[in-house]
Every structure is written in C-alpha cells, then in structure tokens.
Chain A
Amino acid sequence: MDAFLLWFDEFWAVYSNLVLTLGINALLALSIWLTLACGVLALANAAFMGIGAYAGALATLNYDSPFALSIGVAMVAPSLVALAIGLPVLRLGGVYLAMATLGFGEVVRVVILNTESITGGALGLNGIPQYTQWWHVLLALVIVIFVLARLHRSKTGRAFEAIKVDETAASLMGVDLRANKLLAFVLGAAIAGLAGALNAHLTFFIGPQEYGFDRGVEILTMAILGGVTSIIGPIIGAVFLTLLPELLRGLADFRLIVNGFILVAVVLFLPNGLWDPARFRRWFGSGR
C-alpha cells in the first residue's frame, strides 16, 4: 500500500496536468457531441471555449471572484453569444454551417487580439491563479455526463436524434427545429465555456492562439474519432487523442508521423469510431 501511495504520488506529480487535461478535453468533445447529436455541424466550440476561458479568467483576475462564480460567468458568457449568433447561423446547412462557425472563431480571435486593454491582446492573460483541482474536473465531468445522459433519454434527446436523422420528418412530428438546435448549440457553448474556464485556471496563462482553427478541428476530431453514436464515444476519443502524443513521446522525431498514421488508420478501419456498440455486439455475438 505504501509502495502504491509512493508510486501514485510520483505519478500524480508528473501526470496530474495530463490527467486533468483528459477530463477537460472530454468536456470539449461532449460539447460538440451535443450539437452533432442534434445534426448540427457547428465548429464554434473552440471559440466558445475561448470566450469562457477569458470571461472566467477576467472575473478571477479583475474582480477577485470566487472560483464557482468565475465558472458560472464562463458558462453564461458563451451561452449568450451562442444565443445571439445561433438564430441567423443555424439557418445554414451542413458544410456551410461548419465553415461559418469556423469563420466565427476567427472573428472571436481577432476581437481578442484587438481588445488589448481587456484581454491583453496577443500577450494573453498571465498569472491566472491555479484554482482548478482534480475534483473540480471530475465533478464537472460527472455533472455534464449525467445531464447529457438524462437529456439523451428524454423527449428532447429523442427530438435531437429525430432532427439528426431527418429534419423535415422531425418538424412534422411537431418538433421545433430552431428551438431544439438552438438549445443544443447554447448548451454546447456552455459546456465548452466550462472547459475553457477549468483549463484557464489550470495553466496560469491563456492566449488567443489557443482557441483557433486547430483547436476547433481537434475538438471535432476527438468526438468523431471516439464515435458519436453514444455519449461514451466522445470521452474515449478525447482520452485517445490526448494520450496518443504522450504515449508516442519515446519515438522522438517520428512521433507526429506515427500519430498521423494512427489517426488515418482508426478512421479507415473503425468506421463508426473507437466506441461503436454495434461493432461490440457483432464481436461478442449477443444482441438481437
């Protein structure tokens, strides 16, 4: 037992940040999963994460707000922005929506760069107190999973899925498309904001470069790679994509090449992502 504790101490000292990042990335993957589950291909989650991170960090830095309040601010701010842009943007279909929301991300980045007196511009925000503890991330993850799982089983979850499969048919079942999509979009933004604030209060520093195109695509990749058929998929995807570069660290210069290769291989050989209940049923022969 002592040996274990000693080992754990050492493990935690080295990997605490990695473990917490896993949790935060899982939140991000879930935030985009929510909109994907509603058939909405919006890639604004990186921007919402950024808005949340800045809002939360500014609350902490400038107003000495307690952590809980900063988190609250970090969830509300992106939700409001999502509400404002949601109505016009969600009219767009498929790929155009994806691209418009990526464009929105750029706008957010430029705004942060140009509001130097508040956001520090390119220099970012420094010296954010490290409030985020392991249990904050765990709690956030548990609550989000709980809420999403309950939501998934409720009438709203069914409506989301119906919209995803066939918008027209869903609307003719009395499902309000705009309201439901907006709900998914806003909730997703709140979760992304939560992740942003947890991250900001973990890493002492945030800068505008962190919430751009690459992060947006990374979040999407986590969800798709994990599989979007159930709530487990995005979490698995986040864990996989976060751990992969660390596991490959020993490969030194070849690390990223192998990383890319594995990404392609997963997409090629696991059609529905890493977590695919249908495949498991096939493999283990049960099911109806």
Chain B
Amino acid sequence: MFAQQLINALSLGSVYALFALGFTLIFGVLGVINLAHGAVFMVGAYAALQAVVLAELPIWAALVIAFIISGLVGLAIDILVLSPLRKRDAPHLIPMIATIGVAIMLNSAAQGLFGADTLRFPPGVVPDGSIEAGGLHITAVEIGIIALTIVIMVVLLLGLRRTSIGKALRAVAESPRAAALLGIDVEGLFRKTSFVAAALGGVAGVLISLYANAVYPLMGQPMLHKGIAVIILGGMGDIRGALIGGLFLGFAEVFAVAYIGSTMRDAVAFGLLFLILLVRPTGLFGKANERKA
C-alpha cells in the first residue's frame, strides 16, 4: 500500500503544483492574488472539451487550443482590469477584489453557455485504464501530469535564469519601478506574464479534468483554495516553491488519509500550513524581507 500511496501522492502533488504555477507566477510578477485563476483553469478545460467534442481534434491539439484561449482570457483580464488598476497604483487588495468579479463573470458565463452539468472528456482521448506493475497502478494521465509539471517547471526555471526576458522578469519581481528605470518594458512583461500564467492555468485545467474525469463551471473554486495553500507553503511568487508546496500538500493529504484518517486530511494539511507559517513566516522559499505590500 505504501508504494501505491507514494504514487498517489506524487500525482496529486503534481496536480496541485501544476495549478499553482500560473497562480504563483502572477503573484510573483504582478503582485496580485489572482482569484480568477480558478476560472481561467475552468475556461481551459471547457475550451479543450469543445475542441475534442465538437471539432473532434486530438488531445494535443485541444491542449494547444486551451493554452491559447486561456492565455487570451488572461491577457484580456490584464488589459481590461489589472492594467488600469496598476496605472493608478491601487493597493494590492483592490486588484484581488476585481479578480473576484472576473471569476464570477467567467463562472456564470460558462454555466450559461454549457449548463451546470458535470461533463467529461470522451473516453479514449487519452489511453484509458492503468498500467499495472507489481500490484501498483498508474495511469497515462498521471504520468503525463507528473512529466509535464516537471518539464514546465524546468523550462520556467531555466528560462528565468538564462534568458534576457527571465532576467527582466526577475528585476520586475524585485521592484517594478526600478526595472522601469533600467529601461525594461514593464507593462509588456506584465502582459506576457498574464498570458503565460493563464495559459498554464488552462493547460492545468485540461489535464486535471482528464485526471478527475469532471468538467463543471465551478471546478476551479476548490482548486483555488488548494492553490492558495500551495503558494503559501512554497513561498509566494516562487516557482520552485509551487513545486515543493504542491508536492508537500499532495503528500500531506495522501499520507494523512493513509495513516491518520481521511476525516483529518484537511485539518492535517491546513494545520501544517499554519505551523509552517509560524516557523517560517514567509513560506518555505519566501524571502526574508518580502516586498512591501
């Protein structure tokens, strides 16, 4: 059982990390707690579902479509909502509230368009069933999620380290004002980040709905709660933190179920979160002195 639980924890942790990536990216660069990330995640899932069901596209094409559509939604949110708020230097809670409004709009629009029913991807878009080895079971989707999480993470980390856009991003994350003085196109970077973060959210939406076999308008809300826990655990705005935090939460939940009792799962997960914050007030990877809010 232990080995199977280890696999379960790894895939659940990857699911959380995948969701948290875009979430933490927005916070790290734009300094906004984007409560519409769950809705963008849902948009990605529906976009891919439509692509698969209506246009009968293969799943990789659907992923690309989800990537683009969610990315565009993210871009629209930035242009229409976040950017005007940035221009007038609104305190950081204000954009958060605006994103609540955006989330309500997207969620109810999805319900209007597609109905409230739980839908799923047709069977066979990804290999069904599970691979069995020595009594252990793992599915193709799980392998895909774990692999993709690691790939995205590595790409992002290398990208941030090595490329000029990465360096610019880090400068912006440190201080947007100073970055602007250095001649960095801060607004442009914010746009790109919004696109990429939302696009990643959309891809996460597709993969997680393949994993859970469920697509419904409010599917992003429960993930949002977990995502918040993940990025606090990892240290807000930190890419590695999203991975570590996600895995941490996944392992905490799975092993709480396995060895403590499933009724205590959330209590254990959030209790740990609470404790970690008390010991390390800015999360596992958080900087000692956070950017002044």
A residues with CB within 8 A of B: 41, 88-89, 91-96, 99-100, 102-104, 106-107, 109-111, 113-114, 213-214, 217, 220-221, 224-225, 253-257, 259-264, 267-268, 271
What would 7 more interface pairs be, CB under 8 Å, given A260-B108, A263-B100?
A92-B277, A96-B232, A104-B270, A110-B264, A259-B104, A263-B97, A263-B101
Q: Which chain B residues numbered 81 to 100 have a C-beta less than 8 Å away from chain A?
A: 81, 84-85, 88, 90, 92-95, 97-98, 100
Assess the B101–A95 pair: CB atoms within 8 A.
no
B257 an interface residue at 8 Å Cβ cutoff?
no
Assess the A261–B105 pair: CB atoms within 8 A.
yes
Assess the B108–A256 pair: CB atoms within 8 A.
yes
Assess the B228–A94 pair: CB atoms within 8 A.
no
The secondary-structure label for the interface of chain A is: helix
B103 an interface residue at 8 Å Cβ cutoff?
yes
A256 to B102, CA, bound (A): 11
Query: Closest approach, in angstroms, between the C-beta of A205 and any C-beta of chain B?
Result: 23
Choice from B92, B101, B229, B266 contacting A110 with Cβ under 8 Å: B266
Assess the B290–A220 pair: CB atoms within 8 A.
no
Which residues of chain B are within 8 angstroms of A106 by Cβ–Cβ distance?
225, 266, 270
Choice from B35, B98, B109, B229 contacting A268 with Cβ under 8 Å: B98
Assess the B273–A254 pair: CB atoms within 8 A.
no
Assess the B274–A107 pair: CB atoms within 8 A.
yes
Which residues of chain B are within 8 angstroms of A254 by Cβ–Cβ distance?
112
A99 to B229, CA, bound (A): 8
Q: Which chain B residues numbered 46 to 103 have a C-beta less than 8 Å away from chain A?
A: 81, 84-85, 88, 90, 92-95, 97-98, 100-103
A254 to B266, CA, bound (A): 35
Sort A-B residue pairs by CB-CB distance and give the 5 closest, nearest first.
A263-B101, A260-B104, A260-B105, A256-B108, A94-B293
Which residues of chain B are within 8 angstroms of A253 by Cβ–Cβ distance?
112
Chosen A-B contacts, 23 in total, with CB atoms closer than 8 Å, are A95-B33, A96-B286, A99-B232, A99-B277, A100-B273, A100-B274, A103-B277, A104-B270, A107-B274, A110-B270, A213-B225, A224-B97, A253-B112, A255-B108, A260-B103, A260-B104, A260-B105, A261-B101, A263-B98, A264-B105, A267-B94, A267-B101, A271-B90
Choice from B84, B112, B281 contacting A93 with Cβ under 8 Å: B281
Assess the B101–A260 pair: CB atoms within 8 A.
yes
Query: Closest approach, in angstroms, between the C-beta of A252 and any C-beta of chain B?
Result: 10
Query: Closest approach, in angstroms, between the C-beta of A168 and any C-beta of chain B?
Result: 11
Q: Which chain B residues numbered 188 to 211 have a C-beta less than 8 Å away from chain A?
A: none
A95 to B281, CA, bound (A): 10
A253 to B110, CA, bound (A): 11
A93 to B289, CA, bound (A): 10
Which residues of chain A are within 8 angstroms of B94 by Cβ–Cβ distance?
224, 267, 271
Query: Closest approach, in angstroms, between the C-beta of A222 and any C-beta of chain B?
Result: 10
Which residues of chain A are within 8 angstroms of B17 by Cβ–Cβ distance?
none
Query: Closest approach, in angstroms, between the C-beta of B77 and any C-beta of chain A?
Result: 10
B282 an interface residue at 8 Å Cβ cutoff?
yes
Tell me whether A220 and B93 are in contact in the complex, defined as CB-CB below 8 angstroms, given that A103-B270, A110-B270, A267-B85 are known contacts.
yes
How many inter-chain contacts with C-beta < 8 Å in the A-B complex?
A: 122
Choice from A100, A102, A111, A255 contacting B267 with Cβ under 8 Å: A111
A106 to B205, CA, bound (A): 24
Assess the A257–B112 pair: CB atoms within 8 A.
yes
B271 an interface residue at 8 Å Cβ cutoff?
yes
Which residues of chain B are within 8 angstroms of A91 by Cβ–Cβ distance?
278, 281
Which residues of chain A are within 8 angstroms of B108 by Cβ–Cβ distance?
255-257, 259-260
B283 an interface residue at 8 Å Cβ cutoff?
yes
Q: Which chain B residues numbered 220 to 273 have a C-beta less than 8 Å away from chain A?
A: 221, 225, 228-229, 232, 236, 263-264, 266-267, 270-271, 273
A157 to B90, CA, bound (A): 24
Query: Closest approach, in angstroms, between the C-beta of B222 and any C-beta of chain A?
Result: 9
Which residues of chain A are within 8 angstroms of B106 by Cβ–Cβ distance?
260
Assess the B100–A221 pair: CB atoms within 8 A.
yes
A106 to B84, CA, bound (A): 33
Which residues of chain A are within 8 angstroms of B264 by Cβ–Cβ distance?
110, 114
Query: Closest approach, in angstroms, between the C-beta of A79 and any C-beta of chain B?
Result: 20
Assess the B81–A263 pair: CB atoms within 8 A.
no
Which residues of chain B are within 8 angstroms of A114 by Cβ–Cβ distance?
263-264, 267
A96 to B289, CA, bound (A): 12
Which residues of chain A are within 8 angstroms of B229 by Cβ–Cβ distance?
103
Query: Closest approach, in angstroms, between the C-beta of B283 and any C-beta of chain A?
Result: 7
A107 to B274, CA, bound (A): 9
Assess the B293–A95 pair: CB atoms within 8 A.
yes
Which residue of chain A is the closest to B101 with respect to CB atoms?
A: A263
A92 to B282, CA, bound (A): 8
Which residues of chain A are within 8 angstroms of B88 by Cβ–Cβ distance?
271
A93 to B105, CA, bound (A): 31
Indicate the member of B81, B90, B228, B274 with the most A CB atoms within 10 Å.
Answer: B274
Choice from B109, B112, B228, B286 contacting A102 with Cβ under 8 Å: B228
Which residues of chain A are within 8 angstroms of B98 by Cβ–Cβ distance?
263-264, 267-268
A225 to B282, CA, bound (A): 28
Which residue of chain B is the closest to A266 with respect to CB atoms?
A: B101
A268 to B278, CA, bound (A): 35
A110 to B102, CA, bound (A): 29
A224 to B92, CA, bound (A): 11
Which residues of chain B are within 8 angstroms of A224 by Cβ–Cβ distance?
93-94, 97
A113 to B92, CA, bound (A): 33
